[in-house]
Structure 1
């Protein structure tokens, strides 16, 4: 029975090692330690009972030797079970530590990836903002340049109109002067006619001729 129990324990150990620390389907080390301790106590009680029985027999030493041999077999088996249980716990602790390291690494990767995504989003926003600012600056410069060109064109047009007006005025000066002279001459002739008519009207009539 002890060999069967030890074989079952080894099978559980192999299954636990294959699962790498998984609690599902694995044995409970605390329960196994309690069982081993209970079996040791039972072994001590049985050894004590057998020793007392041996002293009642004629061949005491042979009886005691057989009892010690049987107890040693059971004790060695319990030690092997305890060693296997210790190995299970070491593997479990190692598996838990490995899982913890893996979880920490996965969490760190997730944080790093989130930070990288955030940095990429910020960088993209920065590029878009710079592009928008550059476009707005180009648009403002284009509008300013267009305004300057319109102002320059208007100035050129005013200058051209002023030059054309001066040229027209210079071209019209002889005609205007001639017209002014003609008006003056006409006015002088008109005044001379008026004065002549007034003088003729005021001159005394001549005496009638004798019959």
Structure 2
């Protein structure tokens, strides 16, 4: 699936995060990430609507199951691509916030020492531990949510495949009597044509010969 311009900028920022360039990574705001999530959601709705149209069109074709199988493959490819984009956004946001936290800690460490420097250091370490626990909890929740979404998507896909197969079988059963009736009509028409040709040939054979000319006196 071709990436549009906003997503290209997002991926560029993600690469900056991956290289550890914290200052540049901060240029991607939560609002921008939320806007990308909204775009992905809108794109998913378009894909779902297209898939519904393709499924409806498949039932008008002779090779119903092949058509449905190809439509499901395109749906999986497109939704997998959107899911990868969402994962990138989650990683970018997490890494950006981690970079911001690291900068705050570095700024604190670079501040001039004071009589209570040991207390500030202890507070910073406690804050770092809390932030790390919060980040770990966020990753755990995001992982569980992604796993649940994947399980739900897999279940819905299996349900849809079973429904499509049942509909295809039912359609073939409905078409079988019509096909047999067309075959019978074709056989009857062919028999009628053969009988008509035989009748015409018989009439030609029974036709009387032309009389001989009268003798000249």
- TM-score, reference length from structure 1: 0.45
Larger Rg: 1
- TM-score, reference length from structure 2: 0.44
